Amino acid sequence: MIMGCQYSQTEIKSRPTITEDVEVMADGSIPEPPPPAPTDPRLPLDARQVFKLKKSWKGIKRCIESTGVEMFIRMFRTNSDSKSIFKHFKDLKNDDELRVSETLEQHATGVMNIIDDAIMNIENVDYVFELLNSTGRRHSTFEGFSPPFFWFIEKPFLDAVKITLSDRYTDNMDVIYKITIKFILENLIKGAESANGIS
């Protein structure tokens, strides 16, 4: 066996050359791979953006609880009135109390799991529409909640994702995440408005 290689000399000799399993142009070059299949036209991301989003999101999935808590803390900082909607932790007074609250962590994780479900299935647009619309409809029953409140989470989400991903949050990923969270929030709002009889 060759050090660091799984093939023996015999196996290496018997493996096909590049001309046997890869198309080669007349000038000896290898053609560009075909572009990925187009995404559903209702989805505001192209196929390459979807691929990059799902790859990047793996880093969030590993820290989904802490990212969710950070998102809510930042939302409460910038929209203090939003805390009044959450009766179970509206009386928590500062960031430290919020960070150690199991109730907040459970709620934040539940919200992040909805976002996770949407992102991991984003190419199945009909499924994502139903997921987000039904979630929006459920929120319409909460006392004091109004559909535009969903926008409160846009910037806190982006900030929390940026913190979790650190230097992996590139300018390109910033664009992709901004498009993604807007798409998610718009469809949550549509669901909430439909439950309120707003078309």
CA distance 113 to 138: 16
pLDDT band of 2, cuts 50, 70, 90? very low
Helix (H) or strand (E) holding 94: none
Give pLDDT, residue 81: 80
Q: Does residue 188 register a pLDDT over 90?
A: yes
What are the domain boundaries of the chain?
Answer: 57-192
Q: Does residue 1 register a pLDDT over 60?
A: no
Q: Is the pTM here over 0.85, yes or no?
A: no
Q: Which tens digit of pLDDT belongs to each residue from 104-128?
A: 999 999 999 999 999 999 999 999 9
Are the beta carbons of 98 and 57 closer than 8 angstroms?
A: no
Give pLDDT, residue 56: 98
User: Residue 108 corresponds to which tokens in the numbers above?
Assistant: 């934040």
User: In 3D, which of 126, 143, 88 has the Cα closest to residue 110?
Assistant: 88
Q: What is the mean pLDDT of the chain?
A: 86
Distances (CA, A) of 80 to 47, 103, 133, 152, 198: 38, 18, 26, 10, 27
| CA-based end-to-end distance of the chain | 69
Residue of higher predicted confidence among 39 and 121: 121
Residue of higher predicted confidence among 38 and 13: 38
Which residues, including other chains, have CB under 8 Å from residue 41's CB and lie 6 or more apart?
none
* 1.10.490.10, 3.40.50.2000, 3.30.110.30, 2.60.40.10: CATH of 57-192: 1.10.490.10
Helix (H) or strand (E) holding 190: helix 171-195
